C-alpha cells in the first residue's frame, strides 16, 4: 500500500510538472505600417524538442528566430528552487493597416504539444504619408529588409542625401545643412563626420542618439529614412563656397540562410553576416553674397533679427561702489559670433571687460536665445552722471538692410563715499585720467644687503647661473627627441596605447551599464574590442573583419581558443540587443567577458 501511494504521488507530480508548462507570446499592441517590432515566445522550460510558428498574415519576418535561454537557482531559508526558460524572438514588419490576430505557436516538450496565447496587433497608418501606400502595394525587395548573405548593396538600396535650407545667402547668415539616410536594407551602424569646412563657422544641431527609421516615399519606392546629422553653417566670406563630399562607413546585416540555426547556436556560428558599405554623400555649393556697402560704423557684425534691452543695478550709489550695467541681446542669427556692444561710460568711471553669458541654443533657424553682457563700472567721485543709450546695429537678411535698435539711457546719482570722494566739475581731465598712476604700495619683507664693492662676476654662483639652464636645455632636447622618435613609429604607438584606449572605452561602457542604456553600452563595448585589435595589429578600418583579425592574432601568437572567445564576445554583443530577458544580467556578462578577453589577449600577444 505504501509503494502504491508513493507511485501515485510521483505520477501526480509528473502530471503537475507537465501541466505547468506554459508558452507566452508577447508583442506591442499597436504598431505603424512599415514599422519593425519584436515578437517573442517564452517557454518556462528548456526541454523543448520542436518549435513551430504558423503563417502570419499581414506581416513579414525580417529576422529570426533567435533563441536564448535562462536559468536561475535560489536558496531561501534553507529551501532551494530553480527555474529555466527558453525564448524564441522574431523581428517582424507590418505590411498593411488593420487589426490582426496572430495564431498561437506550437511547442513540443516531453512528447506533448503546447500552444501559446493569441496576440492581437493593431496596425495604424505610418507617419511617412504617401510612402505607406506605396509600401503596401510594393514588392518584398522594395521595402527595408534582411538581405541574403552575398547580395549586392547598390546605390539605390542605401544612400545619403545632402540638402541646405537656402542655396543663396549673405555672409554670416545661417544655413541649415541636413544629411539624411535612405535605406532598403538592414543598416545597423553608420559613422562619418564632415571635415573642417574652410570659410564656414560650423555648429552641430543635437539630434537623438537613438535613431529610429520612418518610412518615406522617394522616387516611387518606400525607404526607411532618418536624419543622421544636421549642422548650422555661418559663411565667413563671400563667393561660391563648396561643402565637400563626405564618406560614411556603414555596416549592413545580411542573413545566411544556408546555416543550420541549431548548429549555429551550439557551435558558436552565426546566421547573421556583417557587410561593410561605404556611402558617399555628395558635395554641395552655396552662393554667398557680401554684406551691402557701405557698412555703418557701429555695425556689430550680427546678422539675423535681434532686440536689445538694458538694466542698471543700482541706480543710486556711493563713490567707489561698483555698479552693473546689463545689456541683453535676444533674437535669432549668428549669436556666438557677434562682438560686445560698446557702452560709453562717464570719463570718471573705472570700467572692466564685460562678462558674457551665452544662453543660446542651436536649431534649424540658427542660433537663437539671449546673449547677456554684464559691464562692471566703479564711479570714483560723487555727482550726477548719465549712461547714454546703447546702439545695436545688425543686418537683417530678409529685409536686406541694416537696422539699429536702442536701449534707454540711465541717470545715475553718486553720493559721497567713505573714501572721501568729493564733488568736482572735472574741468581738469588729466587728474581723472591719472587716477591709476598714483604712488604704488610700498614693498614689504626682508631685504638682502650686499657689501659695497663685492663682485658677483666670475663667482661660482655666476657660472652656475649659466650652467644650470644649459644643462636643463640639453636634457629637454634629448627627451623631446626620444619622444619624437617614438611618435614617428605609428604602429608601435598604436600597439602601446591599445590597452589604454580599450580600458577607457570599457570604463565608459560601465557608466552606460549603470545608467541602463543597452544600445549605447553594446556599441561602446564593440568599439573597445574592435579598437583594441585594430591598434594591436595596426590594421586600417577597411581591413577589420573577424576572419582577418582571427588569422593575424594567431600569427601574433595569440591562443586559438582565446581568439575564438574574442569573436564569441563580439557576436554576443551584436545580438544581445535583440535578446529578451533581463538586460542588466546580459550586459553584466558581456562586460565581464570583454574585460577578461582583453586582459588575456594583452598578455598573450607577442609585442
DSSP assigned state of 323:
E
The gap from C-alpha 463 to its chain's centroid, in whole angstroms, comes to 58
pLDDT of residue 352 exceeding 60, the answer is yes
Say if residues 214 and 135 touch (Cβ distance below 8 Å): no
Find cell 562607413 and name the residue: 249
Of 598 and 445, the structure prediction assigns the larger pLDDT to 598
Instruction: With CA atoms as reference, report the closest residue to 102 among 26, 201, 206.
Output: 26
Instruction: With CA atoms as reference, report the closest residue to 148 among 246, 245, 254, 51.
Output: 254
Between CA 33 and CA 135 the distance in angstroms is 9
Residues 502-516 pLDDT 10s: 888 888 888 888 888
Q: Are strands 299-313 and 221-235 parallel, antiparallel or unpaired?
A: unpaired
Residues 9-35 pLDDT 10s: 555 444 444 447 888 888 888 888 877
Could you tell me the pLDDT band of residue 374, with boundaries at 50, 70 and 90? very high
pLDDT, residue 144, reads: 55
pLDDT of residue 580 exceeding 70, the answer is no
Between CA 303 and CA 297 the distance in angstroms is 15
Between CA 346 and CA 349 the distance in angstroms is 6
Between CA 454 and CA 465 the distance in angstroms is 18
40-49, 98-107, 125-134, 538-547: range with highest mean pLDDT: 98-107
Other Cβ atoms within 10 Å of 317 Cβ, number: 18
Could you tell me the pLDDT band of residue 76, with boundaries at 50, 70 and 90? low
Say if residues 529 and 503 touch (Cβ distance below 8 Å): no
Say if residues 171 and 236 touch (Cβ distance below 8 Å): yes
Between CA 181 and CA 168 the distance in angstroms is 24
Could you tell me the pLDDT band of residue 459, with boundaries at 50, 70 and 90? confident
pLDDT, residue 74, reads: 60
Average pLDDT over residues 371-376: 94
Q: Is the peptide bond before 294 cis (omega within 30 degrees of 0)?
A: yes
Backbone angles phi, psi at 382, to 5 degrees: -75, 160
Of 307 and 458, the structure prediction assigns the larger pLDDT to 307
Could you tell me the pLDDT band of residue 113, with boundaries at 50, 70 and 90? confident
Of 139 and 529, the structure prediction assigns the larger pLDDT to 529
Q: How much is the mean pLDDT over the chain?
A: 80
Between CA 390 and CA 344 the distance in angstroms is 8
Task: For residue 496, give the H/E element and its range.
Answer: helix 490-515
Kindly state the cell numbers that stand for 472. 636643463
Instruction: With CA atoms as reference, report the closest residue to 337 among 309, 308, 299, 310.
Output: 299
pLDDT of residue 266 exceeding 60, the answer is no
DSSP secondary structure string for all residues of 69-118: EEEEEEEETTEEEEEEEEEEEEEEEE-SSEEEEEPPPEEEETTEEEEPPP
Angle at 380 between CA 377 and CA 381, to 5 degrees: 130
DSSP secondary structure string for all residues of 246-274: EEEEEEEEEE-TTS-HHHHHHHT--SEEE
Helical axes 560-576 vs 518-537, angle rounded to 10°:
150
The region of weakest confidence among 195-199, 554-558, 567-571 is 554-558
Question: Three-class SS of residue 504?
Answer: helix
pLDDT, residue 194, reads: 86
pLDDT of residue 38 exceeding 70, the answer is yes
Instruction: Provide the Cα torsion 162, 166, 169, 175; round to 10°.
Output: -60
Average pLDDT over residues 337-341: 85
pLDDT, residue 592, reads: 87
Q: Which residues pair with 331 in a beta bridge?
A: 306, 369
pLDDT, residue 258, reads: 67
pLDDT of residue 460 exceeding 90, the answer is no
Instruction: Provide the Cα torsion 88, 89, 95, 99; round to 10°.
Output: 70
Could you tell me the pLDDT band of residue 479, with boundaries at 50, 70 and 90? confident
Of 40 and 578, the structure prediction assigns the larger pLDDT to 40
Between CA 367 and CA 176 the distance in angstroms is 11
Average pLDDT over residues 418-438: 46
Say if residues 183 and 157 touch (Cβ distance below 8 Å): yes
**Rg over CA atoms, the chain:** 36
Amino acid at each position: 500500500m505504501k509503494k502504491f501511494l508513493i507511485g501515485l504521488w510521483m505520477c501526480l507530480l509528473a502530471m503537475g510538472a507537465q501541466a505547468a508548462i506554459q508558452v507566452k507570446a508577447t508583442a506591442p499592441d499597436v504598431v505603424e505600417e512599415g514599422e519593425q517590432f519584436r515578437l517573442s515566445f517564452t517557454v518556462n522550460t528548456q526541454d523543448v524538442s520542436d518549435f513551430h510558428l504558423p503563417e502570419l498574415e499581414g506581416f513579414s519576418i525580417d529576422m529570426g528566430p533567435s533563441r536564448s535561454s535562462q536559468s536561475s537557482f535560489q536558496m531561501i531559508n534553507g529551501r532551494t528552487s530553480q527555474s529555466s526558460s527558453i525564448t524564441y524572438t522574431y523581428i517582424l514588419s507590418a505590411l498593411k493597416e488593420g487589426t490582426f490576430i496572430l495564431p498561437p505557436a506550437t511547442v513540443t516538450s516531453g512528447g506533448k504539444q503546447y500552444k501559446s496565447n493569441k496576440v492581437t496587433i493593431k496596425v495604424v497608418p505610418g507617419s511617412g504619408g504617401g510612402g505607406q501606400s506605396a509600401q503596401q502595394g510594393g514588392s518584398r525587395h522594395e521595402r527595408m529588409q534582411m538581405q541574403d548573405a552575398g547580395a549586392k548593396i547598390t546605390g539605390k538600396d542605401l544612400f545619403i542625401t545632402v540638402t541646405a535650407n537656402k542655396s543663396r545667402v549673405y555672409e554670416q547668415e545661417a544655413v541649415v545643412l541636413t544629411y539624411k539616410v535612405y535605406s532598403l536594407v538592414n543598416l545597423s551602424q553608420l559613422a562619418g563626420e564632415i571635415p573642417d569646412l574652410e570659410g564656414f563657422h560650423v555648429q552641430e544641431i543635437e539630434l537623438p542618439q537613438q535613431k529610429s527609421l520612418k518610412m518615406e516615399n522617394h522616387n516611387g519606392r518606400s525607404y526607411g529614412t532618418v536624419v543622421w546629422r544636421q549642422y548650422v553653417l555661418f559663411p565667413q566670406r563671400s563667393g561660391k563656397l563648396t561643402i565637400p563630399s563626405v564618406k560614411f562607413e556603414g555596416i549592413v546585416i545580411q542573413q545566411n540562410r544556408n546555416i543550420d540555426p541549431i548548429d549555429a547556436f551550439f557551435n558558436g556560428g552565426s546566421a547573421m553576416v556583417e557587410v561593410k558599405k561605404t556611402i558617399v554623400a555628395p558635395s554641395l555649393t552655396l552662393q554667398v553674397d557680401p554684406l551691402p556697402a557701405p557698412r555703418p560704423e557701429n555695425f556689430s557684425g550680427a546678422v539675423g533679427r535681434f532686440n536689445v534691452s538694458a538694466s542698471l543695478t543700482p541706480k543710486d550709489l556711493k563713490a567707489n561702489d561698483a555698479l552693473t550695467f546689463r545689456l541683453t541681446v535676444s533674437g535669432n542669427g549668428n549669436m556666438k559670433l557677434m562682438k560686445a556692444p560698446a557702452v560709453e561710460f562717464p570719463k570718471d568711471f573705472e570700467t572692466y571687460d564685460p562678462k558674457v553669458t551665452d544662453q543660446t541654443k542651436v536649431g534649424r533657424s540658427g542660433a537663437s536665445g539671449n546673449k547677456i553682457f554684464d559691464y562692471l563700472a566703479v564711479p570714483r567721485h560723487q555727482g550726477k552722471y548719465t549712461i547714454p543709450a546703447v546702439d545695436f546695429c545688425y543686418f537683417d537678411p530678409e529685409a536686406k538692410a541694416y537696422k539699429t535698435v536702442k536701449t534707454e539711457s540711465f541717470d545715475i546719482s553718486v553720493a559721497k563715499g567713505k573714501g572721501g570722494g568729493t564733488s568736482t566739475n572735472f574741468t581738469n581731465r588729466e587728474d581723472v585720467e591719472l587716477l591709476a598712476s598714483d604712488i604704488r604700495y610700498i614693498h614689504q619683507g626682508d631685504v638682502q644687503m650686499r657689501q659695497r664693492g663685492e663682485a658677483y662676476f666670475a663667482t661660482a654662483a655666476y657660472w652656475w647661473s649659466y650652467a644650470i639652464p644649459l644643462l636643463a636645455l640639453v636634457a629637454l632636447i634629448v627627451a623631446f627627441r626620444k619622444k619624437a622618435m617614438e611618435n614617428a613609429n605609428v604602429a608601435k604607438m598604436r600597439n602601446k596605447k591599445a590597452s589604454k584606449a580599450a580600458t577607457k572605452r570599457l570604463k565608459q561602457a560601465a557608466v552606460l551599464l549603470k545608467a541602463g542604456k543597452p544600445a549605447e553600452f553594446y556599441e561602446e563595448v564593440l568599439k573597445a574590442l574592435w579598437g583594441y585589435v585594430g591598434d594591436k595589429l595596426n590594421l586600417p578600418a577597411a581591413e577589420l573583419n573577424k576572419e582577418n583579425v582571427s588569422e593575424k592574432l594567431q600569427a601574433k601568437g595569440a591562443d586559438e581558443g582565446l581568439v575564438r572567445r574574442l569573436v564569441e564576445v563580439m557576436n554576443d554583443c551584436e545580438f544581445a540587443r535583440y535578446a529578451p530577458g533581463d538586460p542588466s544580467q546580459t550586459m553584466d556578462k558581456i562586460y565581464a567577458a570583454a574585460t577578461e578577453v582583453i586582459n588575456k589577449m594583452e598578455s598573450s600577444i607577442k609585442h
